[in-house]
Structure 1
Amino acid sequence: MSEQPQLSVVVPVYNEQDNVEPLIREILAALRGKLPFEIVYVDDQSKDGTLSVLQRLKTEVPELRVVRHLSNSGQSTAVRNGVKAARAPWIATLDGDAQNDPADIPNLLAERDKADGDTKMFAGWRVKRQDSGSKRWASKWANVLRSRMLRDSTPDTGCGIKLFERDAFLDLPYFDHMHRYLPALMQRAGWKTISVPVNHRHRASGSSKYTNFGRAMVGVRDLRGVSWLIDRSRRTRTEEL
């Protein structure tokens, strides 16, 4: 692509070979003709045919770029490396399992265009989640605990579809699993965030890479760490003389 993109859609994937092409086709349908954009897929050392599908589609889709991890590093690292590789000033993220709906990206862009310049993140809010009962229950209580500890006024930080400014994201402290706490981290940096209702879909193929127990064990430690970061934050506006 020769035209400078205004939006980069970053999609981290691990073993999602059957979801890659349908999701890319949906992204194209949602954004072509609306603004210059690129799609940055980050393959986290998939063991199935994910990379082969991406390589084939790269020859057909001029907007598509592919970044490959040389070692399996997790979703937060994949998102960050995708953002670092991105060429646009604004980033939209989607989960690679295709449960997020790319048709919601224009809605997030419209919310951005209405907001003030201090709002740097527009976080998807899955009002009607299409997950198992146990997953919805675990998420509900995790959100209650997180909200009480972090006071981030965000009903759903786990939603994969988000829109944010690239520079603001790259200025955040990086750590594994940070993708689950982006609104709180943005607020810590002094920016506003807005939650936007979005569509949520059943997983069509493949399997989840997380378990409720695994999320809980990691989440407790991460919550304490993010809470510590917020308590120690100091923000000072400056001016050049």
Structure 2
Amino acid sequence: MWSLLVTNVTVVCCLALFWPVRAASISTQDERQAYPLTFLDTLESSIGGSGFPDETNETEDCCAKWFECGLQFDQTIKAIFDELPACPCFFHPQMLPFGGRIEDPKHKRHFRWRDVTQLFSNKLPRQEPAEWCIEQKPEPGKLAAQHCCYNNSTMLITRGSGAGSPRLVSPSRFFLYHEKFDIQPWIDCKGDWTRYHAMRPPNNDLLCHQNPSEKEYRLQRLQAQSY
């Protein structure tokens, strides 16, 4: 049965997208022990690889498949992201209070954040031209996390190549799965943020001022689509 599934690009991409939705309900401690037999584990053992289609096959567009199956689970994923705090409209590392607790007007309570700017130097794709990025620390029993990026004027980047986007799996909670379900789709989309953001739109629930300007935004779109 699984040998048939792994030959279907759509199924593989959809499982890769939908796995964190199931994983989000498991314990934050010993995730693999608590839920040992996962779709991801089965796919990996079946094909002996990462659980994704052959990247050398140029006829396969897994980015498009990822988008298609994302539409199938749109309401479920949207519900997960709706639980995340809104991105603050302004941020500077010196503004992060002790303990990283910031009040969220959206949910009317505090969430914990961390400065992840330095992580982009060697682990994560960097959002150019972001100056700083912060990420919400996942709550107990959750894997997803909000991710926000800011320019050198401390303003939230609400769109374009520098904007952050929510994570289905926080790298601080489970970096391996973050690579597979947040970074791998970015790679599959060949760094085209216009396609990636269509499924993972940057958060602007607080209706912050649109940043960058319309002119710069159009230029970034043109550059991304002609890369």
Q: TM-score, structure 2 length as denominator?
A: 0.32
**Higher relative contact order by CA 8 Å / sep ≥ 6: 1 or 2?**
1
Higher strand residue share: 1
